[in-house]
Amino acid sequence: MGGGSFAALGQSPGRGGFPQLGHSLFSMRSIMTRRLFFAFLVCLALPALLKAQQPEWVPFCGTKDLNLLRDQVRQAKADMEGALLPRGGITYVPVRFFLVAKSDGSSRVSEKRVLDAMCVLNENFADMDIQFYIKQLKFLNHNTIYSNPGSTSGQFAISNQLVYDAINIFITGDAGGQGVLGYYQPPAGPGGGTDYIVVLKNEVHKNKTLSHEVGHFLGLLHPFHGWEESGGWDPNVHGMQVGFWAPDGQTRNEKMDGSNCNMAADEICDTPPDYLFWNFVSNCNYFGQARDPDGVLVVPMLDNFMNYIFSCTQNQFTTGQKNVMTNFLFHPLRNYVRPNFTPNTQVITQTPTLKSPVNGETLPARNNIKLEWEPVPGADQYLVELSITVGYSVNPITKITSGTSVVIEEELLPDRLYYWHVKPYNASYTCADFSPSETFVTGSVLASREIEEVDGLTLLPNPVNQGAEALLEVNAEAPFEAELRLLDVNGRLLLDLGRRSLPAGTTLLPLPTGGLAPGMYLVVLQSDTGRNTRKLVVLP
């Protein structure tokens, strides 16, 4: 199935002719000033001037094959004509996030950012009764998917990862060249190695980009459909009054009076005409004077999720767009993201209380450190972050668990102050804050990992008088096997007491200590997975 569809995809999602025409939002003011100043004097030279002044890229969506999507949306619209949508409330849509790293495991997006992205996505779709939930956070190490997902080999590698039981979203370091923030890869529907989203790791948690791509996934086109490859409206190229056809030669330019809105641009009537005005918007203000094919001044909508304007703080979908998405969601092409499953939807209003270690407590070792916290109502997952900086930016260690404790097996720096905090979440609610941070100081030694089955290990009596017998009381939550040994404080083996099979519950193991000189000794229980040590003091 891969070969044919990849051949059809052809070029990678990418830059088209954009870079030399666009400019960054940050340089808008100076360009605008120059534009107004030179407008009438040197208008023919303006494009060259702009080219010289502009940085090389603008942010945009790299979705290609949008006409493929358009044809599917038209078909879906026809299919769903008059259909009664089986909606009795919120529709829950599963999402699989691929947290893609380089092949060596570096540069991966943080779990925190992915949870933030989920939170933003759900806030943006809440008013249309669509909510997303985490089906899986998948950690993937793959150089090509990380740095060139749109290449032929990148697409092939992605297609091998797809499981059609959720929206598959790849969070990467590159999405098809400079300026591309993300893209949706049509056609829609399961199979065929397509129907996934790629988003830059630096964009995924922001207000617009992920919701924009999910908009495509749910059947939305750009309000400036037909202008994507043009570089945007330019009066010197397209005229102050645009013609009937968009630069793609096959899409009608939408008119202000709404007379062709059903068949022009995105074919949605309440998104006003838009001819890709990114060169004429600054700080969420439009200053172009474009006219529609009838000569009527265009009033574009700037804060729409589906345009390329990134300077509006909040964005919205129109009612018409919401209707398209709802219809598309209930089309058979989207059956695979409607499993009719209701996840944990509890809103989490508390942050966990951290129990141990806290208050800068100094620990004996610098590894195998157990962190514990109180459970929080509504949470069935916890994200733990640990770092030597309170901003958690320097080599943070992260853990995800469904329990209320986790063992940090990694070797931490010796004798260092560490910060840790815990964020509670569940599959659909990821907006809760982290707990306040707590601290501990690492020891300098490396502790070996303890035996999992052992609940308690006590020497009776301890200290013990020379010549008397000591007992090792083992409390186990499950049966296990271990070697019992007696060492001196320098780690030299004094007595090998053999391999023992220990049942669940309490067992007393006699220690023949009669011949030991007064001093300190180490009693060691060593299993295949861990090691527990107790100090025994023999009195004269």
End-to-end Cα distance, the chain: 80
HEC readout, 408-445: ECCCCCCCCEEEEEEEEECCCCCCCCCCCCEEEECCCE
Q: In terms of Cα–Cα distance, which of 472, 486, 496, 484 is closest to 517?
A: 486
CA 396 to CA 389: how far, in whole Å? 9
CB of residue 109 vs Zn ion: minimum separation in angstroms? 20
CB of residue 237 vs Zn ion: minimum separation in angstroms? 22
Q: Residues in contact with Zn ion, total (CB under 5 A)?
A: 2
Identify the three-state secondary structure at position 213. Answer: helix
CA 339 to CA 132: how far, in whole Å? 12
CB of residue 245 vs Zn ion: minimum separation in angstroms? 21
CB of residue 114 vs Zn ion: minimum separation in angstroms? 21
Q: Which is nearer to Zn ion, 63 or 326 (CB)?
A: 63
Q: Which is nearer to Zn ion, 63 or 91 (CB)?
A: 63
Q: Which is nearer to Zn ion, 108 or 208 (CB)?
A: 208
Q: Which is nearer to Zn ion, 278 or 440 (CB)?
A: 278
Residue identified by tokens 């063992």 is 407
Q: Which is nearer to Zn ion, 13 or 293 (CB)?
A: 13
Residue identified by tokens 């790629």 is 198
| Amino acid present at 428 | S
Q: What is the largest CA-CA distance in the chain?
A: 108
Say how far residue 134 (Cα) sits from the centre of its chain.
10
For CA atoms 439, 445, 448, 452, give the dihedral sign.
negative
Binding mask 47-86 for Zn ion (x = CB under 5 A): --------------x-x-----------------------
Q: Which is nearer to Zn ion, 61 or 109 (CB)?
A: 61
CA 77 to CA 52: how far, in whole Å? 45
CB of residue 482 vs Zn ion: minimum separation in angstroms? 60
- Is 180 among the residues that bind Zn ion (CB under 5 A)? no
Q: Which is nearer to Zn ion, 61 or 384 (CB)?
A: 61
Binding mask 273-302 for Zn ion (x = CB under 5 A): ------------------------------
CB of residue 248 vs Zn ion: minimum separation in angstroms? 15
Say how far residue 69 (Cα) sits from the centre of its chain.
25
Beta-ladder partners of 488: 521
Q: Residue of minimal CB distance from Zn ion?
A: 61
CB of residue 415 vs Zn ion: minimum separation in angstroms? 51
Residues that bind Zn ion (CB under 5 A): 61, 63
